[in-house]
Amino acid sequence: MSISKKIFGKLKDGREVESWTLKGTGGMVMEVITLGGIVRTIYAPNSQGNLDDVVLGYDTVKEYEEDAFFMGVTAGRVAGRIAFGKLSFEGREINLPMNEGPNHLHGGSQGLNSCLWQAKPRGENNGSISLELHYSSPDGESGYPGEVEFRVIYTLTPDNEFIFETEAKVSEITPINLTHHSYFNLSGAGSGSIKEHELQINSGLVFKCDESMTLLDELIPVDGKASDFRSPALIGSRLNSLWQEHGDMYWIDHSTELKPIAKLFDSVSGRMLEVESTNHCLQAYFSSSLKDVTGKGGAVYPKFGAICLECHGYPQSAGLKGFGEILAFPEKPQYHKTIYRFK
C-alpha cells in the first residue's frame, strides 16, 4: 500500500497539475489528477488476478482541458441537466448558463471539472488508503449563489473498493449535486464496446425527457421498455431501443442511506462492478457521443466504448417536491458517498 505524487503537466495559464497514485492492498491502483478531481486510471484485477486499466481517459493536460465528455471528472456544482438553466428555490430564481442546447449540463462550461483542486494524502486507516481534494468556490461561480468549500475523498480499500465521498460547506442556501463521471469498460479501456457487458439496475422508474434530453420532472415505469434492467441484461441487446441510445436517469428512492444501485459484469475479463450510493438517482450513460476518440496510449474509444454510472440527486429538485433534495444549508454540510466495488 502506498500513495505518491508527481507533476502531470501544466494548464494553459501555467499552473501545475499534480498526479497522485494510490496502491491498495487488494491489488487495485488508481491515479487521480488535481484538474477537475479526475480519476485518470483504475487498474483492477481480472479473474486471473491480472491488472487492466478499466476507465477511459487521456495522456496530457491539454487533452483534458479540451475534453468535451467529462471523462473521469467530479461534476458539479450541479451534475446532470437543468432545463433552460433555471432553478427556483427559497423564493428566488437563478439563471445558469446553458452549455448543451437548452440545458445547463454538469455545472456549465466552467464547472468543477475545469477547476484546479488542492490535494493531500490522508494516510492509512484499517488497511485503506485515501486522498483528499479541496476546492473553494466563490460566490457567483458558474452562476451559482454562495461560497462553497468542497471536499472530495478518494479511498481504496483492501476489498478493491473505490469509495467516492463528497462534502460541501456553504455560506448560504444553494443547490449542490456532485457526481463521479468515470467511463467504465471492464475489459479494459480501448478494448472495444461494452455491448457484451451485462447490466443490472435496481430501479423500476426513469425520468421522462424530450428530444433534447431536457428533463420533464415526470417519472415513468420501465415495464416493457428497453430501459428495464431490473434483471441482468446484455447492454448490446437494448442499445438500439433506448431513447437516443443515450441511457436514462433512474429514480432509486428517497433514502440517503447507503444502498445497492447497480451491477456491471464482463464475462471476458470476469470482472464485476457493484455500485452503492447514498444518492437518490442513477444516470446511466452508454457513451453514445463517443466517435473514435483518441485516448490513453493512442487507444481509440468507439461509440459505446464505455458506460458511466453517475450517482447523484435529481438536478431539478431544488424547490421541487417528490424527487429528493439537492439544496445545501449553512447549518449542515451536504455529504454523499458512492462505492464502486470491483470483484
- Mean pLDDT in residue range 115-137: 95
Range of the domain at 129: 2-342
pLDDT value of residue 119: 98
Nearest to 154 by CA among 142, 162, 146: 162
Which of the following is catalytic: 104, 106, 181, 197?
181
CA angle 124/160/154 to nearest 5° reads 50
Q: For residue range 41-52, what is the model confidence (pLDDT) as tens digits?
A: 999 999 999 999
Specify whether the CB–CB gap between 199 and 99 falls below 8 A. no
Q: Any residues with CB less than 8 A from the CB of 240 and at least 6 apart, and which?
A: none
Would you call 198 a catalytic residue per the annotation?
no
- Mean pLDDT in residue range 16-31: 97
Instruction: For residue 228, give the CATH number of its domain.
Output: 2.70.98.10
pLDDT value of residue 233: 98
pLDDT value of residue 158: 97
Sequence length of the chain is 343
Rounded Cα–Cα distance for residues 97 and 171 (Å): 22
pLDDT value of residue 146: 98
pLDDT value of residue 319: 87
pLDDT value of residue 153: 98
pLDDT value of residue 50: 95
Number of domains in the chain: 1
pLDDT value of residue 333: 93
Q: What is the mean pLDDT of the chain?
A: 97
* pLDDT above 90: residue 116: yes
**Residue 64: enclosing H or E segment and its boundaries?**
helix 61-66
φ/ψ of 248, rounded to 5, equals -100, 165
pLDDT band at 330 (very low <50, low <70, confident <90, very high): very high
pLDDT value of residue 124: 83
Q: For residue range 218-238, what is the model confidence (pLDDT) as tens digits?
A: 999 999 999 999 999 999 999
pLDDT band at 18 (very low <50, low <70, confident <90, very high): very high
pLDDT value of residue 175: 98
Where would I find the beta strands (DSSP E) of 11-159? 16-23, 29-33, 38-45, 51-53, 73-75, 81-83, 86-89, 92-95, 103-105, 118-125, 128-137, 148-156
Which of the following is catalytic: 310, 312, 325, 336?
310
Q: For residue range 171-202, what is the model confidence (pLDDT) as tens digits?
A: 999 999 999 999 999 999 999 999 999 999 99
Specify whether the CB–CB gap between 186 and 42 falls below 8 A. no
pLDDT value of residue 105: 98
Q: For residue range 253-311, what is the model confidence (pLDDT) as tens digits?
A: 999 999 999 999 999 999 999 999 999 999 999 999 999 999 999 999 999 999 999 99
pLDDT value of residue 125: 86
Would you call 93 a catalytic residue per the annotation?
no
- Mean pLDDT in residue range 78-97: 96
Specify whether the CB–CB gap between 199 and 232 falls below 8 A. yes
Rounded Cα–Cα distance for residues 81 and 100 (Å): 9
pTM for this predicted structure = 0.97
pLDDT band at 123 (very low <50, low <70, confident <90, very high): confident
